[in-house]
Chain A
């Protein structure tokens, strides 16, 4: 079996992730930040260490500004719904996932202005187009760091410069990049960054979070949920400091334990080394696919300008047929269709049929890429 669906969920996980989760369940198990006995403190320590590890990975100066939640989708909802009010305007791109588009369309019905900047058919965003879209009432720019459909990396740092010049907040959806591509929230001028644990951070599902930078005014920030935090318990009002303000209710500590182990693996191996490996795989896959008659590779900026996510089509075969045959006849597990990103597929011209998507990961090998290429060659020949 060959798993190339890492853009949806990375698998397998590195050594230590499952062990950390089992360790928490067997040896710690208590509620963090609540009960103050030593197991509760130990649980809190796991959560704190995970905050520190994520902050280190993002070069975020203050770990308290990393808040945990369910996944990147929840983090994006927290940032968008927490900060945008009727009358505000927001700029986004035509390559966004529905985790950004759907909350924005809902906010639009409530009176938030939304401008979607058109990207090229390769998925590339031209920073001056973002600048042109800014209005006097603009409050935020929200962009994915890399497309979940074609892997194209968006020019975050350049847009960061623009956002500072116009005094806007920059929210980055790093679901596809955190752990696989270097991120520096300081250098890239990122004010809010949504991440998820189950992709390139190599942790389990059901854990993710939001980095909330210093430029975000907490007074104006509405948390999605309010409730018990283990702090300021004498008050019936929500705490006004991070992370407690945005972390009500008992958290997913077993997930956080796994996330911590995953992020530590990434830090030990090094994002640059992971990136180098994935570029090598991506380059070979794009090269190989492009040489097969009848195969169209989408995107097209090359391995250096994209993540290890590659979308393609085979002439004469629908993406769903390709997906089924790869699974049943070749044991190759990938993802086909629209990938929850209709806007991106419209941009690259593959709506509504979609594409076949290979999401390579840190544990894939060049040998596996050759195996996948051979399968595609056979399918294309028969089509």
Chain B
């Protein structure tokens, strides 16, 4: 059992994060765009933070909308 509450989804750039935000909103999944944690990537953009419990549904929704994902990490 992990104590981590969130998962972050890394995408190409802010453009893709904003697209992901829209897709997730449509799917009824709440998310927040946050700066990419430095230990995950040196990118200066944002990533998509979701509740860890929503991870599977979120990835499915993004896949269905053809939003390319660079990685998923629990934080």
Binding site for B on A (CB under 8 A): 32-37, 40-41, 44-45, 47-48, 51, 62-64, 229-234, 239, 241, 243-244
**Candidate in B13, B16, B36, B46 with the most chain A CB atoms within 10 angstroms:** B13
Residue from the set A36, A64, A244 with the largest chain B CB neighbour count within 10 Å: A36
Neighbouring A residues of B16 by C-beta, 8 Å: 64
Interface residues of B (CB under 8 A from A): 12-19, 22, 33-36, 41-46, 66, 68
Tell me, in angstroms, the Cα distance from A49 to B4 when the chains sit together.
33
Q: Are A64 and B19 in contact (CB under 8 A)?
A: yes
CB distance from A315 to the nearest CB of B (A): 55
Pairs across A and B, CB under 8 Å, 10 listed: A33-B15, A36-B46, A40-B14, A48-B15, A63-B19, A230-B13, A231-B13, A231-B43, A233-B44, A241-B12
- Chain B residue with Cβ nearest A38: B33
Q: From residue A253, how far is it (CB to closest CB) to chain B in Å?
A: 12
For A244, the chain B residues whose CB sits under 8 A away are 12-13, 15
**Known contacts A36-B35, A36-B36, A41-B33; A64 and B42 CB within 8 A of each other:** no
Q: When the two chains form their complex, are residues A48 and B44 in contact, meaning their CB atoms are under 8 A apart?
A: no
Residue numbers in A under 8 Å from B14 (CB-CB) = 32-34, 36, 40-41, 44, 48, 230-231
From the candidates B12, B18, B68, name the one contacting A44 in the complex (CB within 8 A): B18
Which A residues are CB-close (under 8 A) to B34?
A: 36
Q: Which residue of B lies closest to A229 (CB)?
A: B13
Residues of A within 8 A of B44 (CB): 34-36, 230, 233
A365 to chain B, nearest CB (A): 38
Once A36-B34, A48-B19, A63-B19 are accepted as A-B contacts, the answer to whether A230 and B12 lie under 8 Å apart by CB is: no
Contacts A36-B35, A231-B45: A45 and B12 contacting too (C-beta < 8 A)? no
Nearest A residue (CB) for B47: A36
Chain A residues, Cβ within 8 Å of B22: 48
Q: In angstroms, how far is the closest chain A Cβ from the Cβ of B11?
A: 9
Task: Say whether, besides A36-B34, A36-B36, A233 and B43 are in contact (CB < 8 Å).
Answer: yes
| A239 B13 Cβ-Cβ under 8 A | yes
Bound together, the chains give a CA A232 to CA B45 distance in angstroms of 9
B18 close to A233 (CB less than 8 A): no
Apart from the given pairs A44-B15, A45-B18, A232-B43, 13 other A-B contacts in the complex at a CB distance below 8 Å: A33-B45, A36-B33, A41-B33, A41-B46, A48-B14, A48-B22, A64-B19, A230-B43, A233-B45, A239-B12, A244-B12, A244-B13, A244-B15
Q: Which residues of B contact A40 (CB under 8 A)?
A: 14, 46
Known A-B contacts A36-B36, A233-B42; A48 and B12 likewise in contact (beta carbons under 8 Å): no
Complex Cα distance, B42 from A63, in Å, reads 26
Are A36 and B45 in touch, CB under 8 angstroms?
Answer: yes
Across the two chains, which residue of chain A brings its CB closest to B13? Answer: A231
Contact yes or no, B15 A64, CB < 8 A:
yes
The residue from A48, A234, A239 contacting B18, defined by CB atoms under 8 A apart: A48
Measured between beta carbons, the chain B residues less than 8 angstroms from A231 are 12-14, 43, 45
State A321–B42 Cα separation when bound (angstroms).
62
Which residues of chain B have C-beta atoms less than 8 A from A45's C-beta?
Answer: 18
Q: Which chain B residue lies CB-closest to A62?
A: B66
